[in-house]
Amino acid sequence: MEVLQVAGLALVTLVVLLLIRQDRPELAVQLTMALGAVIFALVLGRVLGILEALETLATRAGVDRYHLGTVLRIIGVAYVAEFAAQVCRDAGEGAVAGKVEMAGKVLILAMALPIILAVLDAVLGVLP
């Protein structure tokens, strides 16, 4: 039922945003950020459950904890960059949002490089 809570909270916030955005746009941005934090708090239990399940699967599959940690950090960077870009767009700063997204992509690529190299090394080790 979390989706009903999130949807209800989003709709109530949307109505408030529509009422205050014209007179107090800076307050509207703060309200959007607060909504993001509250929604994250609502789904935090699910996120922790997903992390535990991934850790269990990685252990059973014999995946190195370093690689799992890297993948989880990459996912975190993607979510944070997306959230920051959306807040920038809500504030009317589409150009800044684009730069935040680009920076997130570069950081993700840099973080993924060791995993990419490990996969390539494994593939090259199998080839004759």
pLDDT tens-digit series, residues 28-40: 889 988 998 999 8
Q: Say what the pLDDT of residue 38 is.
A: 92
- Cβ atoms of 69 and 59 closer than 8 Å: no
pLDDT greater than 90 at residue 111: yes
Question: Which of 65-69, 112-116, 122-126 is most confident?
Answer: 112-116
What gap in Å lies between CA 22 and CA 97, rounded to an integer? Answer: 21
Tens digits of per-residue pLDDT, 2-12? 889 999 999 99
Tens digits of per-residue pLDDT, 12-59? 999 999 899 888 888 988 998 899 899 989 988 898 999 899 889 888
Q: What's the pTM value of the predicted model, to 2 decimals?
A: 0.77
What gap in Å lies between CA 20 and CA 101, rounded to an integer? Answer: 28
CA 43 to chain centre: 13
What gap in Å lies between CA 50 and CA 6, rounded to an integer? Answer: 19
